[in-house]
Amino acid sequence: MTIINEIKQRTDITEVIAEYIPLQKAGRNLKALCPFHSEKHPSFFVFPEQQTWHCFGACGTGGDVFSFIMKKEGVDFGQALQLLARRAGITLSSPAVSREVEDKKKDRLYQINETATEYYHHLLLTTKTGELARGYLTKRKIMPETIKEFRLGFSPDSWEAAKNYLMNKGYEEKELIEAGLLIEKEGGGSYDRFRGRLMFPICDIQGRVTGLGARALDNSLPKYTNSPQTSIFDKSSNLYGIDNAKTAIRKKNQLIIVEGYMDVLTAHQHGWQNVVASMGTSLTEKQVALIKSLTKNISLALDADAAGEEATLRGAQILTQSLDRKAGPALSWSQELARSLHKGKTPDLSPSLAGLVKYQSILDAEIKVITLPEGEGKDPDEIIAENPTLWQNLVEQAAPLLDFTFEAIINKLDVNKAKDKSLAAQRLLPLICEINDPVQQDHYLRKLAHILQVSESSLITASKKLQLSKRKQQSVGATEQAPPLCRPLSNPIEEYCLALLLQYSELHSVAQEPSAEYFECTENREIFLKWQNSPDIAVLRSKLDTEILEHLDYLLAKTFPPAIQENGETRQLALTDCILRLQERLSRESEARREIVLNLAREKEGMEAELIKQEEQGTKFSQQLKEIFIKQGRPRRGGE
Ligand SMILES: [Zn+2]
């Protein structure tokens, strides 16, 4: 997650604004006297659901929490960011001044990794020392084209070979340590980190080498190792092979996640170019952020053993939480039940599992689990190489997440026993309750009834009982948990539009350009405004704050469908479409706003009428009050 999104996630606009001005409830929203112009009736509104504000009075403007702070404190975006970061308890990594230094450092690290990749690759392909690794790859049936495509390499079994080579190339020892290629000795000096290993360059989605993975070719432990975390390498935020896979993922509209480097190589070699590997046992949120822009059809093919299953589930959970959620319909009885079930401790039920099924059901994504044949200890790469048809079938027969979960739970129980029957119901019913789609919900309810050989109505009764006991538990139990934060972090159309403009410089000269007011997210607006006056990305970069650069990189890394990549006309059409949609949004919003203003006027009228009425009726009372005030020596405030 970018710093900007993290700040948004941890900041509630109503809390921030309430620190400056008193807010009153106005239906689902809040209103106040505008802090930016002088007025008698509140026309300043805060919309908690959108995390935005708007003044319907003299200002006629609005925005998000950043723009509020910028306006109220009279600061620029960078300063607003500092302020809100401090408030949210987030430490910003570097002050804006050192940005250039940081960038240069990063560029240098990319260069070092690139040089090392070429060096190792060369050793693997052409030298006698590389024979060991070549032999291993031949044994694993990896073809020369694949070796070249993935730029595999070999690190010689030496303490100083890479060090000497790279230092001869002009890199300093300190830099090489920082890049993770050398390990610093305690008493001073350094030595090669990777020795006698098969090397796998790990690239980001843009194809820059961010780090290296390495496999031992003898019995050395650990079998696999990789670059340490650096300012450009974070194992948990990347997927191995993503740069080579991105086009195929888009084309096939499907992504398969495996566990190992070798699985990816074999898969690509056999025509499965949409395969990537998670470099660890479970998926992380950052990895999912990468996938999200490519496809929503995701299949997980991890180990079949218990640990693998666990990892799959954990991975799936992160997936479902991170993908965009569609707004779900109103809560049904079952969701209500599920909700109550998942508050607090739920014995015998993994709340995360319930959560993931729930998320999937309201996600615009299809998550499947590829189950590998058990007991044979076969990895995907062995299956793909030895039996491509079996692999094809496994992918096609991948089980939807909920079916997989059903099996995982039922398999551990003896559903002929009454006790296990109710246990299975206890564990699975809440999951079924999480499904939004009534048809699907009905399908799984029938399925469960069928497996357990009980009637559906008894399951429904059981659910209600579960709900009741849970409610009782709750009323006795601890304090209510706050609902999870779900604040709008980004705007997809804004981002799409901006990414198009940034990535295709020819669009700079297109006659119709979006207007800055189309961008409601301050970070998008900032980038757009600075982009308008920048001849190229390098200049734009130099104009932006460090924290916003992360967002810029994210936009630059967004990949477009082939039609857009290849055809200038399609690009222009896409841009025009975006602009129209942003325009539409703006006018839709202004319509909603008009309504609020109308209500405001009516309210005002009503208030005035009420005042007149009160004045008429209350002259006597007001006279009495006046007398009291005079007696107490306090002047009475003039009525409105
Ligand atoms: Zn105003």
Tokens standing for residue 440: 């699907």
CA of 33 to the centre of ligand 1 (A): 8
Tokens standing for residue 76: 């620029």
CA of 486 to the centre of ligand 1 (A): 28
CA of 22 to the centre of ligand 1 (A): 15
Closest CA to 245 of 564, 559, 568: 559
* Spatial CB neighbours of 480, under 8 Å, sequence gap ≥ 6: 343, 474
CA of 48 to the centre of ligand 1 (A): 18
Question: Rounded to the nearest 5°, which phi and psi values hold at 226?
Answer: -155, 175
Q: Is the CB of residue 156 less than 8 Å from the CB of residue 275?
A: no
CA of 60 to the centre of ligand 1 (A): 6
- Nearest-angstrom CA–CA distance, 627 and 639: 16
Greatest C-alpha distance within the chain: 109
CA of 527 to the centre of ligand 1 (A): 25
> Quick check: 635 pLDDT over 60?
no
Tokens standing for residue 324: 């965009």
Q: Binning pLDDT at 50, 70 and 90, where does residue 306 land?
A: very low
CA of 49 to the centre of ligand 1 (A): 21
CA of 44 to the centre of ligand 1 (A): 6
Give 183's strand partners: 191
Q: How many CA atoms lie within 13 A of 591 on its CB side?
A: 6
| Whole-number pLDDT of residue 472 | 57
CA of 68 to the centre of ligand 1 (A): 11
pTM of the model: 0.54
Per the rule left: phi > 0, alpha: psi between -120 and 50, beta: everything else, 384 is alpha
CA of 401 to the centre of ligand 1 (A): 50
CA of 593 to the centre of ligand 1 (A): 14
Closest CA to 312 of 276, 353, 271: 353
CA of 20 to the centre of ligand 1 (A): 14
Q: Is the CB of residue 212 less than 8 Å from the CB of residue 119?
A: no
CA of 597 to the centre of ligand 1 (A): 13
| Whole-number pLDDT of residue 512 | 63
Strand, helix or coil at 579?
helix
- Nearest-angstrom CA–CA distance, 255 and 238: 14
First to last CA, the chain: 50
Give 488's strand partners: none
Most confident range (mean pLDDT) of 50-59, 167-176, 583-592 is 167-176
Q: Which residue has the higher pLDDT, 262 or 631?
A: 262
CA of 446 to the centre of ligand 1 (A): 57
What mean pLDDT is predicted for residues 19-23? 92
Window from 230-244, 486-500, 554-568 with minimum mean pLDDT = 486-500
Per the rule left: phi > 0, alpha: psi between -120 and 50, beta: everything else, 488 is beta
CA of 592 to the centre of ligand 1 (A): 17
CA of 57 to the centre of ligand 1 (A): 5
Q: What is the DSSP secondary-structure string of 193-222?
A: S--SEEEEEEE-TTS-EEEEEEEESSS-SS
CA of 30 to the centre of ligand 1 (A): 14
CA of 53 to the centre of ligand 1 (A): 11
| Whole-number pLDDT of residue 320 | 47
CA angle 607/612/615 to nearest 5° reads 120
Reported as a single tens digit per residue, the pLDDT across 529-562 is 888 888 888 889 888 887 788 889 888 888 888 8
Please tell me whether the peptide bond between 222 and the residue prior to it is cis, using omega within 30 degrees of 0: yes
- Nearest-angstrom CA–CA distance, 323 and 285: 9
Q: Binning pLDDT at 50, 70 and 90, where does residue 587 land?
A: confident
| Whole-number pLDDT of residue 182 | 96
Q: How far is CA 129 from the centre of its chain?
A: 43
- Nearest-angstrom CA–CA distance, 81 and 7: 8
Reported as a single tens digit per residue, the pLDDT across 216-242 is 998 888 888 999 988 899 887 889 999
Q: Which residue has the higher pLDDT, 402 or 282?
A: 402
CA of 32 to the centre of ligand 1 (A): 10
| Whole-number pLDDT of residue 460 | 79
Q: Is the CB of residue 221 less than 8 Å from the CB of residue 210?
A: no
CA of 69 to the centre of ligand 1 (A): 14
CA of 46 to the centre of ligand 1 (A): 12
The CA–CA distances, whole Å, from 243 to 89, 208, 373, 557 equal: 34, 9, 29, 11
| Residue recorded with tokens 């070999």 | 154
CA angle 232/137/224 to nearest 5° reads 45
Q: Binning pLDDT at 50, 70 and 90, where does residue 76 land?
A: confident
CA of 517 to the centre of ligand 1 (A): 17
* Spatial CB neighbours of 116, under 8 Å, sequence gap ≥ 6: 162, 166, 179, 181, 209, 212
CA of 67 to the centre of ligand 1 (A): 14
CA of 39 to the centre of ligand 1 (A): 8
Percentage of residues of the chain with pLDDT beyond 90? 30
Reported as a single tens digit per residue, the pLDDT across 387-407 is 899 999 999 998 887 888 788
Most confident range (mean pLDDT) of 92-96, 334-338, 441-445 is 441-445
Reported as a single tens digit per residue, the pLDDT across 461-481 is 777 776 566 555 544 443 333
Q: Binning pLDDT at 50, 70 and 90, where does residue 256 land?
A: very high
CA of 38 to the centre of ligand 1 (A): 7
| Whole-number pLDDT of residue 184 | 92
CA of 518 to the centre of ligand 1 (A): 19
Percentage of residues of the chain with pLDDT beyond 70? 73
Reported as a single tens digit per residue, the pLDDT across 379-391 is 888 889 888 999 9
| Whole-number pLDDT of residue 299 | 87
> Quick check: 333 pLDDT over 50?
no
Burial class of 619 by CB neighbour count within 10 A (0 to 12, 13 to 18, 19+): exposed
CA of 43 to the centre of ligand 1 (A): 7
Strand, helix or coil at 137?
helix
Q: Binning pLDDT at 50, 70 and 90, where does residue 613 land?
A: low
Q: How many CA atoms lie within 13 A of 559 on its CB side?
A: 23
Q: Is the CB of residue 387 less than 8 Å from the CB of residue 373?
A: no
Q: Which residue has the higher pLDDT, 204 or 95?
A: 204
| Whole-number pLDDT of residue 550 | 81
CA of 54 to the centre of ligand 1 (A): 8
Q: What is the DSSP secondary-structure string of 422-465?
A: HHHHHHHHHHHHT---HHHHHHHHHHHHHHHT--HHHHHHHHHH
> Quick check: 483 pLDDT over 60?
no
Window from 277-291, 505-519, 573-587 with minimum mean pLDDT = 277-291
| Whole-number pLDDT of residue 273 | 96
CA of 209 to the centre of ligand 1 (A): 50
| Whole-number pLDDT of residue 280 | 64
Mean pLDDT of the chain: 78
What's the DSSP call for residue 558?
-
The three-state DSSP-derived secondary structure of 581-632 is HHHHHHHHHHHHHHHHHHHHHHHHHHHHHHHHHHHHHCHHHHHHHHHHHHHH
Closest CA to 155 of 185, 186, 127, 174: 127
CA of 56 to the centre of ligand 1 (A): 7
> Quick check: 508 pLDDT over 50?
yes
The CA–CA distances, whole Å, from 147 to 115, 150, 549 equal: 17, 5, 34
CA of 26 to the centre of ligand 1 (A): 17
Strand, helix or coil at 398?
coil
Give 215's strand partners: 198, 224
| Whole-number pLDDT of residue 295 | 84
Q: Which residue has the higher pLDDT, 488 or 208?
A: 208
Q: Which residue has the higher pLDDT, 32 or 308?
A: 32
Q: Which residue has the higher pLDDT, 569 or 306?
A: 569
- Nearest-angstrom CA–CA distance, 192 and 303: 32
Reported as a single tens digit per residue, the pLDDT across 128-153 is 989 999 999 999 999 999 999 999 99
CA of 611 to the centre of ligand 1 (A): 25
CA of 36 to the centre of ligand 1 (A): 5
Closest CA to 586 of 492, 518, 498: 518
